[in-house]
Chain A
């Protein structure tokens, strides 16, 4: 493959959120060590398709270019992943690029991942520290706990786990694996723990944790290697206990 002088992209395009998708083929000059984004940049410089017609440049999203922001996720040769971290030399030709199917398409390869941010709101994936006076330093976190919590904190809301999950689709309201794991992350934090029940109650709302049926694709596909299924099982246990406390009453139900 390294000897090849051009590479071929077959890109699923869509002009606007309402219009029908279509495919367009592009030939791009090959360089050593290209990633998928550098191929897309070539197309942007010279937006001419394989038939030699001038066309609108292909739109895609990106920011960090080092697999930490998640913005550039797309389906590459059938697998959802980050286009910045996917090397052309490791791909079969032609390279097929599609937008992730779980999210509404904005244009070409750009999708709207707002539902992931709504999901983070549903489970209150943050630590409230605002007050009318200085609350002082929070409690310390045991180092061992910090180590596994750090792994969970690597989530970049890229959406790959939602794309792979058979229960995340337009027929179901399931919020997907990422937010479930984030609830665990913030509940593990010594300050975040003070609002643990609010996150657990968020997980129990419609579309919450009960939407998981353990297909466990998420943990296989997460580019950050987040132990999503461990998080989900942990949150299953925690929400069940919270549900009992809510129902029967408990001084620790807050």
Chain B
């Protein structure tokens, strides 16, 4: 195995993007969507998640370490590509470029978001509840920052699902890859809706 370290790291990077990070992302946006049903619903759902047994162990092994690995190797992967969409403007080449572009945006967004919420809660400066997010998102600048951040992350996840299916040799034929493109567009639209709907709820109370 040792002599195939690079291969192994890249496959792990690909796997982590979906399991657990992608699963966590969808779960996170769905749970947050409880905000749409009212302040109490959100507080109950978020409180349930925060009250899971061994929550810190879960967070470390299901979220922090996988994202850290994926992000560090991800930045390296971004660095070694020489994007050439100007010369070769094919659809998949653009997706390749956007996968890298959204990776970087997502990194900035996640770092800020975690600092502003989880770390502040951990330090005891803030409390996990509806008004924390309301306070952040009623600022129009932060609303736009979050909007871009959420769309970028969801795009990265959805398009990542497509390339995950190729990296693992699931979609081989051009036809199956085409259908996977359509399916991942649908994933992008649905998950984006869930995320953005929640942002609007926090920002405008509707």
Contacts and interface: CB of A to CB of B under 8 A. Distances in A.
Contacts of B11: 210, 240, 243
Given A204-B4, A230-B172, A237-B168, A166 B83 contact: yes
A107 B138 CA distance: 63
Contacts of A171: 79-80, 82
A214 B96 contact: yes
Contacts of B79: 171
Interface string A231-242: 011111111100
A222 to B, nearest CB: 12
Contact of A172 (B80, B162, B167): B80
A167 B77 CA distance: 9
A166 to B, nearest CB: 5
A78 B8 contact: no
Nearest to B10: A210
From A171, A207, A221, residue with most partner B Cβ within 10 Å: A171
A191 interface: no
Interface stretch (B59-67, B86-94, B118-126): B86-94
Interface of A is mostly: helix
Nearest to A172: B80
B166 interface: yes
Interface in A183-241: 201, 204-211, 213-217, 220-221, 227, 229-230, 232-240
Binding site of B, secondary structure by majority: helix, strand, loop or mixed?
helix
Given A216-B93, A217-B90, A167 B80 contact: yes
A243 B7 contact: yes
B82 A243 contact: no
B88 A164 contact: yes
Given A166-B84, A172-B81, A215-B93, A243 B4 contact: yes
B9 to A, nearest CB: 8
A165 to B, nearest CB: 9
A227 B79 CA distance: 28
Nearest to B3: A205
Contacts of B90: 216-217, 220
B7 A166 contact: no
Interface residues of A, number: 39
Given A220-B90, A230-B173, A167 B81 contact: yes
Interface in B157-194: 162-163, 166-174, 177
Given A172-B81, A214-B96, A217-B93, A240 B88 contact: no
A209 B1 contact: no
Contact of B81 (A166, A229, A238): A166
A236 B92 contact: no
Interface residues on B, range: 35 or more
A169 interface: yes
A246 interface: yes
B7 A208 contact: yes
B4 A236 contact: no
Contacts of A220: 88, 90
Nearest to B4: A204
Contacts of B7: 204-206, 208-210, 239, 243
Interface string B81-115: 11110011010110111010000000000000000
A169 B82 contact: yes
A204 B11 CA distance: 11
B174 A227 contact: yes
Contact of B172 (A172, A204, A237, A246): A237
A247 interface: yes
Given A208-B7, A210-B11, 12 more contacts: A166-B83, A166-B93, A172-B81, A210-B10, A214-B167, A220-B88, A233-B172, A234-B169, A234-B172, A237-B170, A243-B4, A243-B8
12 contacts: A78-B87, A167-B81, A208-B6, A210-B11, A214-B96, A221-B88, A236-B167, A236-B168, A237-B169, A237-B170, A243-B7, A243-B8
Interface of A: 78-79, 164, 166-167, 169, 171-172, 201, 204-211, 213-217, 220-221, 227, 229-230, 232-240, 243, 246-247
The 9 tightest CB contacts between A and B, nearest first, are A237-B169, A215-B96, A210-B10, A216-B92, A236-B169, A172-B80, A233-B172, A169-B82, A204-B7
